[in-house]
Amino acid sequence: QKEVEQDPGPLSVPEGAIVSLNCTYSNSAFQYFMWYRQYSRKGPELLMYTYSSGNKEDGRFTAQVDKSSKYISLFIRDSQPSDSATYLCATSPSGSARQLTFGSGTQLTVLP
C-alpha cells in the first residue's frame, strides 16, 4: 500500500465548475501537506501549503486537511481551462528531514 493514495483520474469538468481533488495518507507522522500543479513535462509548481489540520484559502483555491481521517482535499472554484494540469498532493513529516511523499497525481481537464 502506498503511503499517499490519489485517484489518478482523468477528471474532466466544464469551465466554471467547482473541482474537488482528494488524497488519503497512512503515516501519522505526516505534518505538512502540499498541493502541486504540474503542466505536461514541466516542474511541479507549489499551489498550497498547510501545516496540520485545517483549511487554507488562496484565491480560487482552498486546501483542507483532516488529520483524524488522514484526508487531504483541494477545491478549485470557478475552474478555468488554464487550470488543466496534473495535480499532485504531497506530505512531509516534521523533523529535520522534510522529504516529500507524493500521490500519483490527478489529471484535470477544464473544458471551455
Partner 1 sequence: DSGVTQTPKHLITATGQRVTLRCSPRSGDLSVYWYQQSLDQGLQFLIQYYNGEERAKGNILERFSAQQFPDLHSELNLSSLELGDSALYFCASSVRGATEAEQFFGPGTRLTVL
Q: Is 21 in the site for partner 1 (CB under 8 A)?
A: no
Single residue of 22, 53, 73, 104 touching partner 1 by CB under 8 A: 104
| Whether the Cβ atoms of residue 27 and residue 91 lie closer than 8 Å to each other | yes
Single residue of 73, 101, 107, 109 touching partner 1 by CB under 8 A: 101
What secondary structure letter does DSSP report for 81? G
C-beta closer to partner 1: residue 49 or 71 = 49
Q: Is 14 in the site for partner 1 (CB under 8 A)?
A: no
Binding mask 32-71 for partner 1 (x = CB under 8 A): x-x-x----xxxxxx--x-x--------------------
| Whether the Cβ atoms of residue 22 and residue 73 lie closer than 8 Å to each other | yes
Interstrand relation of 106-111 and 11-14 (parallel, antiparallel or unpaired): parallel
C-beta closer to partner 1: residue 14 or 82 = 82
Q: Is 99 in the site for partner 1 (CB under 8 A)?
A: yes
What is the phi/psi pair of residue 104, to 5°?
A: -80, -10
At 89, which amino acid appears? C
Cell numbers that stand for 73 in this block: 482535499
- Evaluated on CA atoms 105, 84, 13, 65, the torsion sign reads positive
Enumerate binding residues for partner 1 (CB under 8 A). 32, 34, 36, 41-46, 49, 51, 88, 92, 96-105
